[in-house]
């Protein structure tokens, strides 16, 4: 039993509780928030980048460099597909995951949370650009402008996540869940 906003919810006993998916630009805090949210809800957490690295035995930057973005997106789609049908989980996506039409279709019935940040916030949060292939090869402003309409169009919930602690964002997400899911 999990208590969210003062309401007791039996998450594990809910076969129809959807998968919660975190999306947004690089540096938005998807992996950090996803781990916190899953731990709070008592459900499994998956990170698409970690799934890809585990499946291939290679780092994301290496895959981009040697396989190219198109091949990487196909590998990413396969990794996401391996967990997409599991209810009662939290999944953090890579910043470009939704650029793959098949991945968007695969995740259309999930509860998608878009963590909105600015390009300036992303720049400040990206500690090591060499770990983020597209941070080196593209202007962040242009890349964000390209992706933002897709983030918005697929989102069940949009949260600004610019300058707050992950625990504050977690509290904001938890405040939205009871109104968003069947409580029966």
Residue 68 annotated as binding site: no
In 3-state terms the chain splits into helix, strand, coil percentages (rounded to 5) of: 55, 15, 30
Residue 32 annotated as binding site: yes
Residue 167 annotated as binding site: no
DSSP-derived 3-state class of residue 81: helix
- Measured in degrees and rounded to the nearest 5, phi and psi for residue 66 equal -100, -25
Residue 85 annotated as binding site: no
Residue 180 annotated as binding site: no
Residue 103 annotated as binding site: no
Residue 132 annotated as binding site: yes
Residue 6 annotated as binding site: no
Residue 29 annotated as binding site: yes
How far, CA to CA in Å, does 1 sit from each of 12, 38, 65? 8, 13, 45
For β-strands 157-160 and 111-116, DSSP reports them as parallel
Cα gap 136→115, rounded to integer Å: 22
Helix axes 69-84, 60-67, angle to 10 degrees: 130
CA-CA-CA-CA torsion sign (37, 38, 40, 41): positive
Tokens coding 80: 């996401």
Tell me the binding residues for substrate: 49, 73, 95, 147
Point out the annotated binding site for Mg(2+).
31
Binding residues: 27-32, 49, 73, 95, 132, 147
Query: Which residues contribute to the annotated binding site for ATP?
Result: 27-32, 132
């Amino acid at each position: 039993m999990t208590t969210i906003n003062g309401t007791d919810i039996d998450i594990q006993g809910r076969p129809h509780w959807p998968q919660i998916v975190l999306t947004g630009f690089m540096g938005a805090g998807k992996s950090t928030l996803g781990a916190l949210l899953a731990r709070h809800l008592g459900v499994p957490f998956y990170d698409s980048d970690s799934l890809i690295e585990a499946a291939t035995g290679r780092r994301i930057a290496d895959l981009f460099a040697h396989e190219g973005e198109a091949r990487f997106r196909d590998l990413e789609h396969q990794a996401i597909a391996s967990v997409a049908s599991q209810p009662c989980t939290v999944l953090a996506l890579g910043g470009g995951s939704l650029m793959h039409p098949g991945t968007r279709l695969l995740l259309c019935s999930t509860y998608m949370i878009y963590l909105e940040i600015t390009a300036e916030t992303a720049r400040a949060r990206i500690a090591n650009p060499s770990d983020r292939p597209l941070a080196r090869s593209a202007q962040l402003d242009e890349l964000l402008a390209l992706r933002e309409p897709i983030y918005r169009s697929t989102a069940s919930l949009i949260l600004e996540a610019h300058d707050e602690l992950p625990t504050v964002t977690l509290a904001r997400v938890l405040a939205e869940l009871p109104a968003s899911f069947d409580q029966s």
